[in-house]
Structure 1
């Protein structure tokens, strides 16, 4: 039986929930640790959602009204939270939307929903299954496609993608948020205090992007210790560090590009990126195989990976110049 770190994480959290200990989850994930509704406690609907944690006709009416701004709706969903009622909240809202729009299947519903409805359904879906929130992405990405300039939409999508990244890449948790915080094209349709709450949490992961004081990192004076690497061990460590630095750059650039694409183009890019990653591993494994078992093997392997990553960065920049 192949037990992954994700399996273990889900098992541990599940056992804690069964034991009645839910506080730990609030301290360790993007979706459960960003209570930005506290920046909207002057809004009656937010107060109601925070108090009862369940969708009722009044909250449904608030989420459905075109007169209510999108950030207030996001704050209401945030206030409903991720606790035991979250999955039922998502089901209730989905059922309401199906009936309201007289939509048969999910594809038809996806086509009929407004930006606000897509955002609310996607966010509720993510909170309702925050261990595996992938099912929320089609709704949230469709919301971004309808309103690519909305900071609110981009922020909720980034939180959901960051939740998924928690299992594999803690640096990416920060990078996803950073790409939103630093995007001047986004319309600030959410209160700065709310953005600050999200940023204060995600920035905790920035340290996982910072280079350690190891061969291959630049000093405060801007000098590269790899310039003085002489032993095979130092050269190997430098090669590994340089690959990791290049790979972080690639992840950052890829996420920035992905954030600007429509769902259809993004799906194609994701397939292309997955195929490229498989090619990269196969090519570098093959190239370095003749050195396997020797002290030079890590140097050859990581240099190959770095070169392919740098070439991929150039390809992406040429493919998506804007």
Structure 2
């Protein structure tokens, strides 16, 4: 497998910050994120054109766009210190920053329905149901904070919290957890067709803190998204971080701390590996383009690297 790279510089105004997530703008090859000062930016992955906007409240964590086409201007944006509406055209905040009932340091946000968002911490034990109309908190559901959510045929949302080794089926209309299932400890899951592919491994408790742990990945596992049965598995590098999804040929793409591996869909064996020049801060898959967008840690100031394979 052959890899090619493009590199784009970003204006880095501060060497501090935890680093923001990269978010793809629907229907485009552009990524949206924030600089260390909280300013929104949008970059075309293949042309390198960068637009800088206004600041939101902290590092960008997640965005739910008003539709999936990329033609609507508005979106909900979750940052370190709150939730707000943003405009893609102006790259600016268009509403007040909302914190009431949400707190700070929330890490994930998903669209649960046309009316409801789900917001949770990275490894929390609850999820907030939030109105897509005004951002008001509707209810707090006690469950493992999900890293992946997908819709079931009966309309419920299946929430994968592999950090807590549990999958929860949520009835959004009532705000109730309908069913819970025990699964292996894991991390970094992605939905690929009718399968959920994840990094599974061993729970390692932190001796310095009670009821705090990490998961050390050992296997790349493909689960049936509906029966939860493991279908295939293969050994994975210990520095694997997350499954990004599948490329145009259905190959599974995994981000590691120092690069990216591409795996055969049938056996999950490694077909190709790219080694990056620095530790990764974040990675985003452009599957139909057989490409990933990589960003180094904020302290490195390396900007974005686009890796393409053939």
TM interval, shorter chain, is under 0.3
Structure with bigger strand share is: 2
TM-score between both structures, scaled by the size of structure 2: 0.23
TM-score between both structures, scaled by the size of structure 1: 0.23
